[in-house]
C-alpha cells in the first residue's frame, strides 16, 4: 500500500513506536504525519518512510483539520 495523503500509518521505530498517525504530505524519502493531538497539522512530524507501516486508507478532505484527524484515528482504534 502506498503512503499517500489520507493513509493511516503506525510508527515502527522511534520514541513514538506504536502511535497511529495520518499522512498529510509525502516526498521521496520522508512522510509528514499528524495525529491532531500531540502533532497537529500546523506542526507535522517528519518520519522516514521505512519507519512507518501503512494500515488503512481513510477519506480525508483536501485540507484536514485536527478534529478530523483525531476522529479518524479514534474510529480506527474503536474498530480494532
Q: Which of 47, 58, 46 is closest to 5 using CA atoms?
A: 58
CB distance 1 to 53 below 8 Å? no
pLDDT digit string (tens) for 24-70? 998 889 999 999 899 999 999 999 999 999 987 777 766 678 888 88
Q: What is the third-level CATH fold of 7-79?
A: SH3 type barrels. (2.30.30)
What pLDDT is recorded for position 62?
65
pTM more than 0.85: no
For the cut 70, the answer to whether the pLDDT of residue 19 exceeds it is: yes
Separation in Å, CA 32 to CA 26, 67, 79, 80: 6, 17, 25, 24
How far apart are alpha carbons 70 and 25 in whole angstroms? 17
Amino acid at each position: 500500500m502506498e503512503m499517500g495523503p489520507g493513509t493511516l500509518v503506525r510508527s515502527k521505530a522511534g520514541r513514538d513506536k506504536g502511535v497511529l498517525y495520518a499522512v498529510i504530505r509525502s516526498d521521496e524519502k520522508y512522510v509528514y504525519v499528524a495525529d491532531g493531538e500531540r502533532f497537529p497539522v500546523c506542526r507535522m512530524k517528519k518520519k522516514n518512510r521505512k519507519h512507518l507501516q501503512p494500515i488503512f486508507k481513510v477519506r480525508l478532505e483536501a485540507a484536514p483539520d485536527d478534529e478530523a484527524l483525531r476522529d479518524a484515528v479514534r474510529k480506527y482504534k474503536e474498530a480494532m
